[in-house]
Structure 1
């Protein structure tokens, strides 16, 4: 009888021990961090790879910072993983990369850099119900397609183009302009917006020519433009082509000022255009880093981490990651659908400033910055709030 009692007691003790161990194992499992992937897409190869790397660096800095601080969503420890992809600034590659990110089960995407890649990729993200925040795409079409998944943290070319034209008019000596674009969604869109506003202001548009985003020799079109004797030339494109464009214009003796947008308005332009940058006036569809609330501190930590200064878009990519995480926190979930549902009411204060979205996913309050180059250094000129 006593032996039976001892056996029963042992069994009860063993069962209790196993229960405690099972509970401990379950608790340990729930304490293991959930890995959450955020996509980052930009050209990491090709002529504007330096701009793409700047975007990726901004997103990576945010991810590293958040992981170092520790992140808890809905009671679970979360580790972010940046799924960085190269779209080579090519629309077809962009759609392939977008599908790969969907298959990789990212919860949101920071990208793409170019309007010409963001626009075709946006359909894939929309069908998957994944939030897409571009830190640099400015073509208005991107957010005008009826998708609920498209957002951007910069102003649009519908604001940037007119701001450039307004400044040209303000100078008082720009009466005749020639326009050239690189045939991309971005370059063409910016040039068209500039042209529309220039005509409204009474500036004569002498011509509008198209080249290619792969072009390196502009002497033919510039020789034609020289014969038109413009006061200014507006170029829509990136710095990899805009640099040679400005340089060759000077070599051909064109004295017209070159007006251009944020694709050209980079820290690297002086390396591409030489002293021809002295003739460039450019805009960027966002606040200048020196006017950003957190700009100075961001520049310092970016330089410490990557050994170079910001090209331009890195702070916007950085804030985009934090905006996604802010949506996660408000949703108390890492589910893509729940993150997306929290995007419209975003009111985030970050490095760039305050971010709120309108009904299309555009910034409620955009900013355009204007620059010139002095002794090869990009120099802030003015800022226009839209």
Structure 2
């Protein structure tokens, strides 16, 4: 009899425990980036940042509206393709995620931003830099990194004022990102008296640039500006070396500013000619950068690229707004997101009325012995 009573009590307690966990608030955070294709190394790095944030948040036993919140990632692959990007965005809307971190590319983020706006879900990108992203004025769109206006202009100023270069050839990959950053660089360079001696374009799938570079070489530029990503920049640098263009500086935005670019250039000495820009401070100058990077490397060895500190912060910014609103419902916490003043790993994050980051920093980098090194 006593044994039966004990078993009944245990069963009742187990049932209560089940009820308690059933009352936990499940908060789904979406993440989208290319997890397949030539840009998968960026996408995986971005996803790692979100996963690390979710782990850290779950360890904090956060309460939202009186309930213990349990955070989960819903990860989607957009393969850096605009069509797949909008399909992934719709999938996250249908899954009723509380918020989204992403996307990586401007070409996927811009069309996806309309989907998120239409279904009322906030999204924060820590990677897409085309200024057109915030132009529609959607109150669901946020960016926590400097845009191409800052990156392209900063590189042009350094080329002219810092290196005293007189002529440049501009190549872009015809994506929203590549064209955008190249256009800003060109416009700023021309306004400061630099001569653009040639303009060429390629695609974000190409690997053979010999014809383009041969045409550029004939114009004898001091520098090439490339608007694009590292899967193209690496082979381009290798082919520049093969064509004897080892004295030509190679400028680009955050798309080429990776640890991977030196590997993709297969040891070409022209890597030493790179000058690239990233939105945000260098890891050493970020408020929590170096300590965070140690933890990241322990968890995800040899996977760090560029944007994971930003996707980490973006996840915390979403949750910070939910905590202040006492709700994970996007309609309820969205007004709090606009009032963000969050001390993150990357910087103190606050937003302009259009969702752009207030007071964004940029950092210029060069490569010494194949290693990415901040200039400022």
Q: Note whether the superposition's TM-score is higher than 0.5.
A: yes
Superposition deviation, residue 304 in structure 1: 1.0
- 1:28 and 1:220 mapped to 2: Cα distance? 67
Matched with 2:205 is 214
User: Deviations along 1:227-285, whole A, 9 cap, x unmatched?
Assistant: 00000000000001111111111211112100111000001111011232111111111
In 1, the alpha carbon distance for the partners of 2:237 and 2:165 equals: 18
Q: Does the residue aligned with 1:263 lie in a helix, a strand or coil?
A: helix
Q: Deviations over 1:53-102 (max 9, x none)?
A: 00000010000111122111010011000001100000000000000000
Structure 2 residue aligned with 1:268: 260
Unmatched 5+ residue regions in structure 1? 1-20
1:109-120 correspondence runs (5 A): 109-120=100-111
Give the whole-Å Cα distance in 2 for the aligned partners of 1:213 and 1:47: 9
Q: Would you say 1:223 and 2:217 are equivalent positions?
A: no
Question: What secondary structure, in the 3-state scheme, does the structure 1 residue paired with 2:254 have?
Answer: coil
| Cα deviation code 1:292-345 (max 9, x no counterpart) | 010011111001111225211000000000000000011000111112111111
Note the 1:53-72 alignment, pairs <5 A: 53-72=44-63
Tell me, in whole angstroms, the C-alpha distance in 2 between the residues paired with 1:142 and 1:126.
12
Does the CA contact (< 8 Å) of 1:35 and 1:78 recur in 2?
yes
- Partner of residue 135 from structure 2, selected from 144, 149, 152: 144
Which residue does the alignment assign to 1:95? 86
Residues 1:78 and 2:72 are matched in the alignment? no
**Aligned-residue offset at 1:202:** 0.3
- The residue number in structure 1 matching 2:374 is 380
Structure 1 stretch displaced more, 66-75 or 90-99 = 66-75
Using the alignment, how far apart are the partners of 2:17 and 2:272 within structure 1? 65
Does structure 2 conserve the Cα–Cα contact (< 8 Å) formed by 1:31 and 1:77? no
SS class of match (2:362): strand
> Is the CA contact (8 Å cut-off) linking 1:173 and 1:231 kept in structure 2?
no
Give 1:244-263 correspondences, 5 Å limit.
Answer: 244-254=235-245, 255-263=247-255
- 2:350 maps to which of 349, 356, 359: 356
For the aligned residue pairs, the C-alpha RMSD in angstroms reads 1.5
- The match for 1:233 among 224, 227, 238 is 224
Pairing of 1:1-386 with structure 2 (within 5 A): 28-29=19-20, 32-254=23-245, 255-273=247-265, 274=267, 275-308=269-302, 310-382=304-376
Could you state the TM-score of these two structures normalised by the residue count of structure 1? Answer: 0.91
CA distance in 1, matches of 2:21, 2:373: 52
For residues 91 and 108 of structure 2, the distance between their equivalents in structure 1, rounded to whole angstroms, comes to 15
Distance, in Å, in 2 between the alignment partners of 1:224 and 1:26 is 71
CA distance in structure 2 between the aligned counterparts of 1:30 and 1:178, rounded to whole angstroms: 61
Q: Is the 8 A contact 2:104 2:128 kept in 1?
A: yes
Taking the aligned partners of 1:58 and 1:233, their CA distance within structure 2 comes to 32
How many residue pairs end up in the alignment?
360
CA distance in 2, matches of 1:138, 1:123: 17
Greater mean deviation of Cα atoms: 320-329 or 286-295: 286-295
- Secondary structure of 1:343's aligned partner: helix
Paired residues of 1:40 and 1:59 also in contact (CA < 8 A): yes
